[in-house]
Structure 1
């Protein structure tokens, strides 16, 4: 047995024999060349020729003839054990692929900042998951800068980011613009005015100014704005997330820089007062980004098609 296995391993190239193994497998199952020819829709001579070619390649005899047809030799039984396993695996693979196609099974890896995840991504994901319940979603919550780097390194499929200065090899699908504003409660502003008698021009110098930390692209954008217009700040409080900025502003801790769209309710019901600025802050564009010229999975293609259909026109 061991000698026969060694002979099989030393035989011809498997790549050359792949089509022959299907013939071998069919003949071994049917035990009859005529039946195998009918099942494979080829002639009996073609079946016999294929078997001879495989036997020559392996250097063994695989079948012996009898009155009822053919039967496997000892060497044929050894080969059949492995070939049967291989074809069973192929059938399982085909069945799994069919299930993937029918159910839309897939994996989608998204990079996004915590702020954009809550206020922008979640509404899209909620509807997408409802339409594609068999897609596994992985969320990597990092700063926009880190998300962009992960995208370039092909470690995520798609990112929700602010539009970068350069779109080299990146497709960017805009979802619209966001606007940065400064807000505070009316009570905080009234008390600040009593303490400092500050006016609008020196409010930033006297107030506690709450900004996101320096790793955040929004913070970098606001720092550039303050520097460009020579706006001085004396009491700066760094906060890690937009949600905390909003909550700290609600309890009257200071003036917070937030995204206007994310505090629309608070502005409408009077919880926040928007601070007028001597110079406007230019709006920023946000959207989904992915690498161009990339072979994307069906899950990624489905998500791109989904948000394209859903996003505001």
Structure 2
């Protein structure tokens, strides 16, 4: 049984869709169907149940999924170690990064990494921190980069970069009465924040609790799925946003946004690599070393 056939099965099993698997692997849907049928003939079992337009894994399918994930992980590690004997870095590395990291930190790093390791097939999945951790647990990515404060016990977190959240308003906002406010002032200020599951919101909530404030007591106009959306929202609405200082560097230089200090309210955080416990090494480790060596330029 070929490793590609297992890759086809994994794609169908994760997406629960022959169409999505076809798009993900860049092969025709009939070819996807043929690979699944050959697997079913080989094991003499049904791997999927068809329920109208939906498909579900059978018990045999769930068993094959469990072992296929481990087999593919072992195969990737074998490929990495065999090429390493010749000082070659070849293989596939699937990264996942939370939105802030993916938009404002990784692009120059990825460009430099691809330049130095052209034979590594690199891909990036973008989502909020909880989504990246879920993708890692489901073996859809090999290495994640997240920005939250909540940590799952079955995952290993390694420091990558330090970051800070700041309160920002548009330069024409009526909220610019002074350069500093108190945490209690937040109760009377309309806010636009990142969505649930984002590391940015996690850090802001923790900072609020240190001043006996709850998110539910604030006047939140909108929760948005990206920092770019928040910045654009601020251009058209008189409110305050909470974002990474890294995400507003250009706007602060041009003067289109202003930082408002929140007195005695620390919103420091870490960007972390995240891996499955016990699965360190391989190309993930190569990328982590490379990123850590170059993080002074980020």
Q: Please give the range of the TM-score, normalised by the shorter of the 2 chains.
A: 0.5 to 0.7
Where do 1:160-171 residues align within 5 Å? Answer: 160-162=145-147, 164-166=149-151, 168=153, 170-171=155-156
Q: Which residue of 1 aligns with 2:255?
A: 270
Where do 1:79-94 residues align within 5 Å? Answer: none
Quick one: distance in 2 between partners of 1:168 and 1:106? 29
Q: Does 1:286 align with 2:271?
A: yes
| SS of structure 2 residue aligned to 1:187 | coil
Q: Match for 2:198 among 216, 222, 226?
A: 216
Q: Which residue of 2 aligns with 1:174?
A: 159
* Deviation for aligned residue 1:255: 0.8
| SS of structure 2 residue aligned to 1:312 | helix
Structure 1: give runs of 5+ residues left out of the alignment. Answer: 1-93, 194-198
Quick one: distance in 2 between partners of 1:140 and 1:203? 38
Q: Does 1:300 align with 2:284?
A: yes
Quick one: distance in 2 between partners of 1:153 and 1:119? 26
Quick one: distance in 1 between partners of 2:194 and 2:248? 16
Q: TM-score, normalised by structure 2?
A: 0.60
* Deviation for aligned residue 1:168: 4.1
Matched-pair contact (CA < 8 Å) for 1:109–1:156? yes
Quick one: distance in 2 between partners of 1:280 and 1:99? 48
Q: Which residue of 1 aligns with 2:230?
A: 245
Number of matched residues? 212
Q: Does 1:258 align with 2:243?
A: yes
Quick one: distance in 2 between partners of 1:163 and 1:207? 24
Q: Which has the higher helix share?
A: 1
* Deviation for aligned residue 1:116: 1.2
* Deviation for aligned residue 1:261: 2.1
Q: Which has the higher strand share?
A: 2
Structure whose alpha-carbon radius of gyration is higher: 1
| SS of structure 1 residue aligned to 2:172 | helix
Q: Report the CA distance shift for 1:205/1:163 in structure 2 as closer, same or farther (over 3 A).
A: closer
Q: Which residue of 1 aligns with 2:112?
A: 127
Quick one: distance in 2 between partners of 1:99 and 1:295? 16
Structure 2: give runs of 5+ residues left out of the alignment. Answer: 1-78
* Deviation for aligned residue 1:244: 0.9
Q: Report the CA distance shift for 1:243/1:101 in structure 2 as closer, same or farther (over 3 A).
A: farther
Where do 1:1-313 residues align within 5 Å? Answer: 104-162=89-147, 164-166=149-151, 168=153, 170-189=155-174, 200-201=181-182, 203-231=185-213, 232-294=217-279, 296-297=281-282, 299-312=283-296
Quick one: distance in 1 between partners of 2:115 and 2:225? 31
What is the root-mean-square deviation in Å for CA atoms of aligned residues? Answer: 3.3
* Deviation for aligned residue 1:229: 2.2
Encode CA deviations 1:282-312: one digit per residue, 9 max, x unaligned. 3101122223432644x33432332232223
* Deviation for aligned residue 1:230: 4.3
Q: Report the CA distance shift for 1:98/1:171 in structure 2 as closer, same or farther (over 3 A).
A: closer
Matched-pair contact (CA < 8 Å) for 1:121–1:160? no
Encode CA deviations 1:196-226: one digit per residue, 9 max, x unaligned. xxx9456534432100111312213323333
* Deviation for aligned residue 1:105: 2.9
Encode CA deviations 1:242-278: one digit per residue, 9 max, x unaligned. 1111222234442111111221232233222212213
